[in-house]
Structure 1
Amino acid sequence: MLESAVSSPGPAARCARVLRSPWARLVLLVVLLAAAGAAVLAFRPERLLADGWPARQTGVVAVAVFAGAYGLCTAAFVPRPILNLAAGALFGAPLGTVTAVVGTVLGSAISFGLGRLLGQDALRPLLRGRWLRAADRQLSRHGFRSMLALRLLPGVPFAAVNYCAAVSRMGWLPFLLATAAGSVPSTGAYVIAGSHAATPTSPAFVAAMLFIGVTGLGAVAVAWRKRSRFGWRVRAARAGGESGGADA
């Protein structure tokens, strides 16, 4: 009996053995994200825009709690514009922007850490396509510059970028620094809009909405240009292949 007790592994050892498998860790990541999404649907953080912040939460405590909740919601794929508008409505433009940026960095760190720990080993062997490998090289070699461009470009899914970056070999420091710097313009615009939502004709609100609209149109133009250039390259490659086949 003593020998069987010594030889049989405990629950902790069995759990550690299972987590050595990359695919088991990836399944755990999917389960965690699904649970986070279900929690978001249950608690509905968008109610902050209508109901406001609980009266018992004030001052530094309220800012810290909101930043932490912002980070968790960001990691759970909650749209950041809703959270930014709530930050502006609750704390005003200056403090709301700082709180939202801190929450953005915190949520990005949570997403990046989960993706790196639970998803990287399983997903990196799947980067076989030419475009996937090119994107991986860009993120891995030019992490700060690439991430800064992605953060500055509106319309790019924020949480998805966090998890995709985790699959690359990008370092923690360039990822977090680029996230903090690149998220300030759009975050500040939404926070200002939220802080002046009660006066939609005020210059600050109009300027914030114009900034959001202009950057959104710029993102569409950039995406259309990239799409056209990609289509031109595909047509040129096909034409080259057909001419090569004809010559043969």
Structure 2
Amino acid sequence: MASIKEIELRLNDIQTETDPRFIELLSDERKGVQQAVAKWRKRQAEKANLRQAFAEMTRHELKARDDGAVIIGGVDEVGRGPLAGPVVASCVVFPEGEEFLGLTDSKKLSETKREFYYEDIFARATAVGIGEATAEEIDTHNIYEASKLAMVRAVLNTNAPLDFLLVDAMSLPLEMKQESLIKGDARSVSIAAASIVAKVTRDRYMKEIAKDYPGYGFDNHAGYGTAEHLQALKTFGVTDEHRRSFAPVRKHVTTT
């Protein structure tokens, strides 16, 4: 008779309840076996929910393909709100038929999950492009236009013959068919992937510049206007990474 451990391992290879191996386990009255079966059913239910969510988030990609698009890029940006650092955008092209279960808006994921998906996206995506607009460009153009600039750069840096874009709440000045989706990072898997790539890229950048600007806590708050950051502005002044057109920063530019 197989041990409970052996049965748990066996269950990892079983995909459906119609599998004869699973049916056989149902007649095993050992408590450990029935607990293992219950855990398997729970995992299968969770996976089914993830597949359903993934199917919902691929509707826009599927519609674009039905309309004739072949290479579809999802575009998103992060970093509009911070007082320091660039706004970063990404464009991601997914291979048709690939499953990325659990992929969603980067804001809904833990840092550990974002890092996992970031690596998975780069490993499996057809193409990934990243673009940014610096703090100086944000001051020159305003944050909306700078965000658009970063997104255009991300599309161009994808280096793929894109024929359709799914863009998070933005229309880009590109001669390319595109669809703007409000809350696109929660509605399109391609945009969600772009939001993750952009978020991880920007967070890594802010952690790196924290070494150059000790005392500001960029590695803790990524440039957002936290109490720690506002106090650092009072104590140390404005850096080259700060957005001088933003009010909490601007008042320190005039007084330092």
TM-score, normalisation: structure 2:
0.22
Q: Which structure: greater strand fraction?
A: 2
TM-score, normalisation: structure 1:
0.23
